[in-house]
Amino acid sequence: MANAIKNIVLVHGAFADGSGWRPVYDRLTAKGYKVSVVQNPLTSFDDDVAATRRALARLDGPAILVGHSYGGSVITEAGDDSRVAGLVYVAAFAPEVGQSTLDQYGIVAPPANFVPEVQDDGFAFLNGEKFKLGFADDASAADAAFLRDSQVPVAFKALEHKVTTAAWQKKPSWFVVATEDGAIAPELLRLTASRIGAQMTEVAGSHIVFYTQPDAVAAVIEAAAEGSSR
């Protein structure tokens, strides 16, 4: 780690908050990295990008910006920040300019057990009965139940927002494909990693692979920190 980038910024996706990153956070901080966890409000895409930029603004040097799922769309936009040296996509979306998160499902449809339910106010929760299979199939029953019952609703309009910048076009990127993902088809994850030219690592895990397989995910982030050093 002597010459590695020291700052890591972790960005969560929809239906969750930053606490899910704790296993990865623990592993990275134990190795001396300075880790920031963004708490996306999930009230709009612009609000989530602003929250990420706010975290980046507090850093004293270059950083690796990491996004999970919808958080990949957020880092695609926010990653143009001059402090960002590299990007890590964890079972994530990486839209082209002019594409939204949901547009990606036009390439490969979501798996059958991923069922967002939009409420009258425009915010969406994941269907409770299918939550474990679609979101956290390799988590324990107790952990999956807690994640289901503590899920953070996302403004559906945030998932429909089209990005105006694609940071992966200019920044080196790494990509974790969750091979048992029940929210984003692994085929789509592989296609995305190839399309953006990312260094791809396949990890046997569900959509929340960062939570259930933190050693493997932390190792990819470390590789990005070492590979993006400047």
| pLDDT band at 229; cut points 50, 70, 90 | confident
pLDDT of residue 167: 98
Say if CB 222 and CB 27 are below 8 A apart.
no
pLDDT of residue 4: 78
11 forms beta bridges with: 38, 67
Is the pTM higher than 0.95? The answer reads: yes
Task: Look at residue 121 and tell me if it is in a domain.
Answer: yes
Spatial CA neighbour of 71 closest among 163, 187, 5: 163
The span from the CA of 69 to the CA of 63, in Å, is 20
CATH number at residue 118: 3.40.50.1820
The single residue listed with the structure tokens 């606490």 is: 19
Range of the domain at 58: 7-227
Task: Look at residue 178 and tell me if it is in a domain.
Answer: yes
The span from the CA of 57 to the CA of 221, in Å, is 20
In this structure, what are the phi and psi dihedrals at residue 6, rounded to the nearest 5 degrees? Answer: -95, -25
Percent of the chain with pLDDT over 90: 97
User: How many domains does the structure of the chain reveal?
Assistant: 1
Task: Look at residue 32 and tell me if it is in a domain.
Answer: yes
Task: Look at residue 1 and tell me if it is in a domain.
Answer: no
Instruction: List Cα–Cα distances, 163 to 70, 103, 126, 193, in angstroms.
Output: 12, 11, 24, 18
Task: Look at residue 80 and tell me if it is in a domain.
Answer: yes
* pLDDT reading at 200 higher than 60: yes
Q: What is the mean pLDDT of the chain?
A: 97
Task: Look at residue 97 and tell me if it is in a domain.
Answer: yes
* pLDDT reading at 6 higher than 70: yes
pLDDT of residue 1: 55
